[in-house]
């Protein structure tokens, strides 16, 4: 029998049991759609994180207080020397690979204006804080170093804070808000950044002079972190080594003592976050891929049932000259058709599900054509792999015994 006739016979056989054929394909459909959707979510998250980190610049550096080991004993961060304003001044004067540096402190609480209030986070920084964070203003002016040194009660607000306290679209520059009962005059409004990859609203923020946040809100003298910009991405490593040298000296660390601080670059952060998202993407794809395996087992089961039901038909065809190879190919083609058609429907549903997830959750989605091609190839392989044994069993039936089958 030629391939065209075999294909026609296989299609007719599937048409005779339309509902069973559809239910058999359902496992493949769900599996393919799940794989495409999960990988699209993972890839979209990875791309979003990379874009956000890249927008902040690859020359950004962070210094955070760390743990220090003394006498073989790991000391907690509370027992290690804290970052101070003296560290900032030393970095400014001695690290020529650093072009901008700012302390950072932060606290959460309620911002109040009249009868309106809103839970938010206040960040304390210096004049160069916005430059380092690649943030601009849509109105007003930036905080000055003079205001930072004098603990001025002024602030910049994000768009979300402005909308919640004063109404959507209103420019609150010149107005006064209270944060933990401390009055702050708004001198500028930050440009919108939207949500980050973790769903956090980057516009839900207040920025004030770091000394004001330190003394009036946190009642502390140390700095929680130091934000810096290297002269260029190429000089990031040089800047990192200069900062480490300066801080070890200002913290009076001996040669045998570990750093009581940690320096991280934007590039390291990007690498770490990319690795995490890649692992999550693989995990999501593997979980979704299990349904493909279940779908393949379903195809094998149905093909076994089909062979049993059509035993007499197989015996009749073989008794009138039908070849074993034709019987094998017919059942194998039926299995492949179930897998391929299920895969095609699954691909369409995968694109649709990805679009729905993006529309409902605002989660970044990026469908990879590689995953679509892979899913289609896997469907074909599943059809061959799980259809081979039932097809081979059908081709090896004894014609006489098959005709006697009840």
Does some domain include residue 160?
Answer: yes
Looking at the structure, tell me whether residues 31 and 102 fall in a common domain: no
Beta bridge partners of 157: 189, 206
The verdict on 246 and 277 lying in the same domain is: no
67 assigned to some structural domain: no
Question: Do 89 and 158 fall into the same domain?
Answer: yes
Q: Is residue 73 part of a domain?
A: no
Identify whether 101 is part of a domain: yes
pTM of the model: 0.63
Does residue 61 form part of some domain?
no
- Domain end residue (candidates: 250, 280, 314): 250
298 vs 64: CA distance, rounded Å: 55
Residue where a domain stops, chosen among 187, 215, 250: 250
**Contact in structure between 266 and 61 (CB atoms under 8 Å):** yes
| 66 is a domain residue | no
Most confident of the following: 57-61, 203-207, 282-286, 327-331: 203-207
CA-wise closest residue to 187 among 172, 202, 197: 172
**In this structure, are 290 and 363 located in the same domain?**
yes
Closest CA to 154 of 175, 129, 130: 175
Q: Give residue 110's pLDDT.
A: 94
One domain for residues 302 and 200: no
| Domain match, 97 and 223 both | yes
% pLDDT > 90, the chain: 29
Band (79; pLDDT cuts 50, 70, 90):
very low
Q: Is residue 184 part of a domain?
A: yes
161 and 15 both lie in a single domain: no
96 and 238 both lie in a single domain: yes
Share of the chain above pLDDT 70, in %: 89
**pLDDT tens per residue across span 96-151:** 999 999 999 999 999 999 899 999 999 999 999 998 888 899 999 999 999 999 99
Residues 96 and 245 reside in one and the same domain? yes
What total of structural domains would you count in the chain?
2
For residues 190 and 284, state if they share a domain.
Answer: no
- Residues 209 and 335 grouped into a single domain: no
Lowest mean pLDDT among 102-116, 143-157, 246-260, 304-318: 304-318
Average pLDDT for 186-215: 87
Instruction: Assess if residue 74 is contained within a domain.
Output: no
The boundaries of the domain holding residue 328 are 3-52+272-404
Residue that terminates a domain, selected from 220, 250, 280: 250
Highest mean pLDDT among 4-18, 69-83, 303-317, 329-343: 329-343
Whether residue 81 is predicted with pLDDT greater than 60 in this model: the reply is no
The DSSP secondary structure of 30-57, one letter per residue, reads HHHHHHHHHHHHHHHHHHHHHHHHHHT-
Name the DSSP letter for residue 260.
Answer: S
Residues 93 and 220 in one domain: yes
User: Cα separation of 37 and 300, whole Å?
Assistant: 26
d(CA 229, CA 129): 10
């Amino acid at each position: 029998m030629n391939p065209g006739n075999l294909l026609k016979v296989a299609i007719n056989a599937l048409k005779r049991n339309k509902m069973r054929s559809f239910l058999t394909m359902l496992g493949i459909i769900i599996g393919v759609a799940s794989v495409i959707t999960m990988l699209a979510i993972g890839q979209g998250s990875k791309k979003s994180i990379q874009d956000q980190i890249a927008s902040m610049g690859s020359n950004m550096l962070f210094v955070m207080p760390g743990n220090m080991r003394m006498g073989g004993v790991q000391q907690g961060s509370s027992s290690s020397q804290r970052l101070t304003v003296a560290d900032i001044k030393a970095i400014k004067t001695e690290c020529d690979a650093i072009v901008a540096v700012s302390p950072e402190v932060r606290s959460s609480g309620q911002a109040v204006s009249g009868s309106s209030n809103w839970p938010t986070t206040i960040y304390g920084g210096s004049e160069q804080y916005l430059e380092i964070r690649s943030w601009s203003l849509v109105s007003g002016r930036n905080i000055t170093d003079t205001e930072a040194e004098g603990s001025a009660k002024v602030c910049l607000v994000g768009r979300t804070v402005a909308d919640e306290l004063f109404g959507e679209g209103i420019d609150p520059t010149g107005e006064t808000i209270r944060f933990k009962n401390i009055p702050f005059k708004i001198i500028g409004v930050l440009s919108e950044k939207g949500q980050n990859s973790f769903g956090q609203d980057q516009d839900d923020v207040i920025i004030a002079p770091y000394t004001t946040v330190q003394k009036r809100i946190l009642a502390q003298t140390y700095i929680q972190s130091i934000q810096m910009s290297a002269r260029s991405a190429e000089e990031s490593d040089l800047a990192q080594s200069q900062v480490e040298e300066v801080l070890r000296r200002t913290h009076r660390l001996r040669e045998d003592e570990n750093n009581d601080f940690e320096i991280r670059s934007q590039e390291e952060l990007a690498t770490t976050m990319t690795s995490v998202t890649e692992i999550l993407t693989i995990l999501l794809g593997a979980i979704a891929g299990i349904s493909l395996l279940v779908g393949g087992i379903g195809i094998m089961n149905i093909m076994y049932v089909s062979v049993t039901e059509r035993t007499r038909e197989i015996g009749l065809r073989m008794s009138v000259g039908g070849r074993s190879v034709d019987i094998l190919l017919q059942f194998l083609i039926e299995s492949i058709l179930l897998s391929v058609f299920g895969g095609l429907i699954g691909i369409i549903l995968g694109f649709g599900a990805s679009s729905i997830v993006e529309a409902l959750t605002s989660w970044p989605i990026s469908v990879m054509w590689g995953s679509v091609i892979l899913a289609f190839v896997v469907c074909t392989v599943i059809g061959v792999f799980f259809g081979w044994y039932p097809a081979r069993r059908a081709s090896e039936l004894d014609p006489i015994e098959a005709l006697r089958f009840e």
